[in-house]
Amino acid sequence: MSDRVFIFDTTLRDGEQSPGASMNTEEKVRLAGRLEDLGVDVIEAGFPAASEGDFEAVKAVCARVSRPVVAGLARTSKADIDRAWAAVSGAKRPRIHTFIATSDIHLEHKLRMTRDQVLQATVDAVKYAKSLTDDVEFSAEDGSRSDPDFLCKVFSAAIAAGATTVNLPDTVGYAVPGEFADLMRYVLSHTENIHQAVLSVHCHNDLGLATANTLEAVRAGARQVEVTVNGIGERAGNTALEEVVMAFKTRPTFYDVVTGIDTTRIFPTSRMVRMITGMPVQPNKAVVGANAFAHEAGIHQDGMLKNPMTYEIMRPETVGLTESRMVLGKHSGRHALKSHLEKMGYKLSPEELSTLFSRFKDLADKKKNVLDEDLEALVAEGILRTADAYSLDYLNVAAGNTVIPMATVRMKIHGRLVQGAEFGNGPIDAAYNTIAKLTGTKSELLRFSISAISGGTDAQGEVTVRLKENGLVALGKGVDPDIITASVLAYIHGLNRLEYLKNHPALVAESI
């Protein structure tokens, strides 16, 4: 029988450390529900000692999911472990994940500790975590650049102290596949008690090798893979869940391992991560990119018509990529909307449903076919958001090749209606100038991206902005068939998030 590889999803922790990908508690909880349906074995929900916001989010995820293990990250200090335990103890299956660096570079320049001190810190941390819960994971940060014998010594001590999983991270994405597999084999053969624990692998993608390194590690004997949806994460990202899972599924005789992932849920989960984080997926991204299953060349199309196996190694349906159906129209009622959303995995409260229903009706008036992706976008933009200080009431822009672009905006600021008009370099610039003036904000626009949610000229435009003010950074998203309105909604959403962060300084996470 094929061995089982455990899927440890760290989208909510390492993934969230991507620049600009921060998620609020509600967003994390919804995504955790999706990850549970996807079939992941472990959800790393956050780093509870990093901020009050992370702590609350981890607690909320524990209350939301029941099948997967929920892990909270902690450095080796007692304070971090206490905080992690306070956050995950409400989970049905809690795990404390503690880590310390083992490479000489980190010991000398970051930790300023000797190898003996790191060994002692590992043992103390794992023993303490074990006194709180049975399920303890230990990670040797920068493991791939550590002295292999010291790494084995630390793993052996961690297992003797009670670790049930030991994880070997390629923290800086430096490893290359053959060498990394050799290191895994070395660890397996030189750590005497290694068979009392699950050996795990955690890779970063700085050289574009995260998936290759992870797959080679599994061939060498690792049985837990730490991954994120769409490969989001620090710098160039983490190993992409979808790539590893589909490699196992597409090449079963080569890898001879199985996972608990329901692959038909991969694409909807990828879309949700994109919506929530506002991080676009490159069109040529393996498995979940918009072009991943598009055959452009005539010779390929001819082959595909004769037999899809000529050029297609995976069926699009296997990853949940089905033709978008016209799901609802303007005559659809609240009940139809509710039950369709439930099929898509969204269980909304009556108030959320009311908000969404009126947005849905507005959209159905403007757009004949309301597709699943449109509904996803409405949920992401309309429900998954913080309480609003600012909202749009009226927008009018003058644009064209013979007019000076101008925008008139009326908006509610803390419940009070205000209006104004400004010029700009284009209609979006004019609208943004007006909003900045009305709200008295001075944010810097770090990123502006616009894309169409589905095909066709009536597709909704999805705009993502990244704003910075007084050292705080927030992401804003807006969706509307009118791209200028979508741009304005994204800007106002971003300003609302900045306002929220200003009033909740404890939610601003300190980085690891």
Helix axes of 372-382 and 350-366: crossing angle, nearest 10 degrees: 130
Name which position in 39, 48, 169, 427 contacts ligand KIV (CB under 6 A).
169
Which among 262, 224, 265, 259 has a CA at the least distance from the CA of 44? 224
Q: Least distance from C-beta 230 to ligand KIV, angstroms?
A: 17
Binding mask 40-79 for ligand KIV (x = CB under 6 A): ----------------------------------------
Question: Stretches 11-19, 65-73, 241-249, 478-486: which one binds Zn ion (CB under 5 A)?
Answer: 11-19
The residue among 244 and 341 lying less far from ligand KIV, judged by its C-beta, is 244
| Count of residues of this chain found to bind ligand KIV when the rule CB under 6 A is applied | 9
We find the least distance from the C-beta atom of residue 234 to ligand KIV, in angstroms, to be: 7
Cα(315)–Cα(299) distance, integer angstroms: 19
Residue 120 CB, nearest distance to ligand KIV (Å)?
19
User: Does 137 sit near ligand KIV (CB under 6 A)?
Assistant: no
Residues 6 or more apart whose CB falls under 8 angstroms from that of 57 comprise: 12, 23, 24, 25, 28, 29, 45, 46
Among 141, 374, 376, 462, binds ligand KIV (CB under 6 A): 141
Which C-beta is closer to Zn ion: that of 137 or that of 381? Answer: 137
CB of 317 to Zn ion, least distance (A): 32
Burial class (CB in 10 A: 0-12, 13-18, 19+), 315: exposed
Strands 94-101 and 69-74, by their bridges, are: parallel
Nearer to ligand KIV, 141 or 373 (CB): 141
Dihedral (CA of 385, 22, 443, 491) sign: negative
Q: Name which of 21 and 353 has its Cβ closer to Zn ion.
A: 21
Neighbours of 504 (CB within 10 A): 14
Beta pairing partners, 9: 43, 227
Closest separation in Å from C-beta 351 to Zn ion: 38
Interatomic CA distance for residues 142 and 138, integer angstroms: 13
Tokens standing for 57? 């989010």
At 194 the three-state DSSP class reads helix
What one-character DSSP code corresponds to residue 108?
I
Binder among 9, 14, 374, 499 for ligand KIV (CB under 6 A): 14
Q: Which is nearer to Zn ion, 74 or 498 (CB)?
A: 74
411-433: buried (b, 16+ CB within 10 Å) or exposed (e) per residue? beeeeeeeeebbebeebbbbbbb
487 binds, among Zn ion, ligand KIV, none (CB under 5 to 8 A by kind): none
Of 9-17, 43-51, 57-65, 191-199, which segment contacts Zn ion by CB under 5 A?
Answer: 9-17
Considering the complex, state which of residue 171 and residue 230 has its C-beta at the smaller distance from ligand KIV: 171
Choices 121-129, 165-173, 256-264, 371-379; region in contact with ligand KIV by CB under 6 A: 165-173
Nearer to Zn ion, 14 or 41 (CB): 14
**Can you tell me the distance from the alpha carbon of 139 to that of 132, in angstroms, rounded to the nearest whole number?**
18
**What are the two backbone dihedrals, phi and then psi, of residue 17, each rounded to the nearest 5 degrees?**
-80, 0
Pick the closer one to Zn ion by CB: 173 or 345. Answer: 173
> Rg for the chain (alpha carbons), in Å?
24
Amino acid at the residue 19: P
Helices 241-250 and 266-277 meet at what angle, rounded to 10? 170
Q: Which does 99 bind (CB under 5 to 8 A by kind): ligand KIV, Zn ion, none?
A: ligand KIV
Rule CB under 6 A: say whether 239 interacts with ligand KIV.
no
Instruction: Kindly tell me which of 106 and 477 has the beta carbon lying closer to ligand KIV.
Output: 106
What percent helix, strand, coil does the chain show, rounded to 5?
A: 45, 20, 35
Binds ligand KIV by CB under 6 A, chosen from 139, 144, 439, 443: 139
CB of 85 to ligand KIV, least distance (A): 17
207/436 with CB nearer ligand KIV? 207
Residues near Zn ion (CB under 5 A), total = 1
With CB under 6 A as the contact rule, the residue among 202, 274, 477, 497 that binds ligand KIV is 202
Nearest to 88 by CA among 113, 68, 61: 61
Q: Which does 64 bind (CB under 5 to 8 A by kind): ligand KIV, Zn ion, none?
A: none
User: By C-beta, is 15 or 481 nearer to ligand KIV?
Assistant: 15
CA 302 to chain centre: 37
- Coil, strand or helix: which one is 328? strand
**Residues 13-52 within binding reach of Zn ion (CB under 5 A):** 14
- Residue 332, SS3 per DSSP: coil
Q: Does residue 171 bind ligand KIV (CB under 6 A)?
A: yes
Helix (H) or strand (E) holding 42: strand 42-46
Residues that bind ligand KIV (CB under 6 A): 14, 99, 139, 141, 167, 169, 171, 202, 204
Residues that bind Zn ion (CB under 5 A): 14
